[in-house]
Each structure stands twice: as structure tokens, then as C-alpha cells.
């Protein structure tokens, strides 16, 4: 499968994920806290390289792939995601610099449910949301007792594996996952004579 096709399939998956997430938000009222970037500043985030193919393909098409790769290599804040803008000296927006093409884990963080050992569905809300939106979280868990709402993270990762079993399965610290995706795309097009599909 070409990089373009692979990237397109991941984007399709993101589209259905976003539909489920907006349904969850609309029906329950859960939402990210304004200007919160906590989940982008933890070194514990793990991701697959495949979920960053849409980003890598976009960067390649727009001639930014090498530049972003260099920035990642030079970034000193090793605990944070290298795509995060955490300071705004020049008035730039604080947050993800590649929001439109962020990975699947970034979309799923807090907006997904899991099932406990008794089969009870619960929203996997982050600490910040649990503290700030207890009523919304309670309401979501009540709804989840009766029916499914929002995405199930494991289900989406299984779907990712149907696109590429290995690249959709192996988890790496997010910095490595992003780097691998960009490097893979650059290598692919290098051997194709840098011809953009
Ligand atoms: S998911 Fe939680 S930690 Fe991450 S930005 Fe939203 S509120 Fe903040
Ligand atoms: S890609 Fe963007 S949303 Fe995802 S962890 Fe990095 S900065 Fe945050």
C-alpha cells in the first residue's frame, strides 16, 4: 500500500473517531479545560507510528518534513511532545502545533471509555476533568451503564491494525512514534525520486 493510501485510511478512521467524540461531548457536556496542555507534557504518552502518517504525509507534501524533523531532534524538552508549543512569547497559540493532524492517542485522550473487570463501562477521563467536571463525568458513566457512547480506545487501535498490523500495533514514546512516521515517509519518497503522489 502506498503512503498516500495508508495515510488516507488513517484519516478515514480519524473521521469516524471524531464523529463519536463529538457525539460523546454533545450528549454529556464533557470537554477539555481551556488552555490545558497537561496530556501533551507527559513523557508517558505512547503511540504508534501509523497514527502519525497523516501528519508525516502532510508535512512532506507541504515541504516541511525535514524542518519539523530537525526541530524534533533539537528540542530540549524531552518530557513533552515535540509538537507542543508551551510558551507564547510572540503571541502564538499555546497547544499542539499540528492539531489538525494530531495522532489517535491525542484524540482519544480522555474521550474514550473502557470496561472494568465487572464489564461496567466507564469514561477514561483525565484527572483534570474529573476534578473540574464531576457532574458531567457522573452523567457520562450513568449513560454508559445503559448504552455505549463515544469511542472505545481498544476498538480503534484494533481498527488501526487492520491498516497495517505491525505499524498499527507497536507502541513507542510519542516523540519516537512521530519521528519514525516522518522518517518513513521521507525514505519512501526518497526511493520514489521525491515524486509526490
Ligand atoms: S484531556 Fe485532560 S489533560 Fe488533556 S488537555 Fe484535556 S483536560 Fe487537559
Ligand atoms: S501531537 Fe499535538 S496533541 Fe498530540 S501530544 Fe503532541 S502536542 Fe499534544
The pLDDT value recorded for residue 130 is 93
Atom 4 of ligand 2 has which residue's CA nearest to it? 106
- What residue spans define the domains of the chain? 3-191
Q: Is the pLDDT of residue 89 over 70?
A: no
The pLDDT value recorded for residue 91 is 64
Phi-psi region at 115: left, alpha or beta (left = phi > 0; alpha = psi -120 to 50): beta
Q: What is the pLDDT of residues 166-176, one digit of tens each?
A: 999 999 999 99
pLDDT confidence bin for 103, thresholds 50/70/90: very high
Q: Is the pLDDT of residue 181 over 90?
A: yes
% of the chain at pLDDT higher than 70: 97
Instruction: List ligand 1's pocket residues with C-beta within 6 A.
Output: 32-33, 36, 38-39, 109-110, 126, 128-129
Atom 8 of ligand 1 has which residue's CA nearest to it? 36
The pLDDT value recorded for residue 92 is 66
Give the Cα separation of 128 and 60 in Å (integer).
35
Residue 92 CA to ligand 1 center (angstroms) comes to 20
DSSP conformation class of 40: G
Q: Which residues contact 86 (CB under 8 A, 6 or more apart)?
A: 37, 40, 41, 77, 80, 94
Q: Is the pLDDT of residue 77 over 80?
A: no
The pLDDT of 30-59, averaged and rounded, is: 92
Name the residue of 17, 40, 56, 182 whose CB sits within 8 Å of the most ligand 2 atoms, as the mutation to test its pocket.
40
Q: Is the pLDDT of residue 22 over 80?
A: yes
Residue 176 CA to ligand 2 center (angstroms) comes to 13
Q: Of 157 and 88, which is predicted with more confidence? A: 157
Q: Which residues contact 90 (CB under 8 A, 6 or more apart)?
A: none
pTM over 0.95: no
CB atoms within 10 A of CB 103: 28
Instruction: List ligand 2's pocket residues with C-beta within 6 A.
Output: 40, 45, 81, 83-84, 96, 98, 102-103, 106, 174
Q: What is the pLDDT of residues 119-140, one digit of tens each?
A: 899 999 999 999 999 999 999 9
How much is the mean pLDDT over the chain? Answer: 92
The pLDDT value recorded for residue 191 is 86
Amino acid at each position: 500500500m502506498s503512503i498516500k493510501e495508508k495515510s488516507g485510511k488513517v484519516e478515514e478512521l480519524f473521521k469516524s473517531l471524531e464523529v463519536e467524540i463529538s457525539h460523546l461531548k454533545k450528549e454529556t457536556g464533557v470537554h477539555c479545560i481551556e488552555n490545558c496542555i497537561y496530556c501533551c507534557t507527559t513523557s508517558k504518552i505512547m503511540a504508534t507510528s501509523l497514527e502519525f502518517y497523516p501528519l508525516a504525509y502532510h508535512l512532506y507534501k507541504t515541504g516541511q518534513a525535514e524542518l519539523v524533523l530537525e526541530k524534533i531532534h533539537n528540542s530540549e524538552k524531552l518530557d513533552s511532545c515535540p509538537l507542543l508549543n508551551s510558551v507564547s512569547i510572540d503571541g502564538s497559540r499555546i497547544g499542539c502545533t499540528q492539531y489538525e493532524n494530531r495522532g489517535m492517542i491525542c484524540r482519544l485522550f480522555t474521550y474514550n471509555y473502557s470496561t472494568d473487570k465487572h464489564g461496567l463501562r466507564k469514561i477514561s477521563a483525565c484527572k483534570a476533568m474529573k476534578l473540574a467536571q464531576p457532574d458531567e463525568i457522573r452523567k457520562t458513566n450513568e449513560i454508559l451503564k445503559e448504552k455505549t457512547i463515544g469511542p472505545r480506545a481498544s476498538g480503534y487501535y484494533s481498527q488501526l491494525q487492520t491498516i497495517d498490523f505491525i505499524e498499527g500495533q507497536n507502541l513507542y514514546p510519542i516523540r519516537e512514534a512521530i519521528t519514525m512516521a516522518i522518517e518513513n515517509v521521507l525514505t519512501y519518497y526518497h526511493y520514489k525520486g521525491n515524486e509526490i503522489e
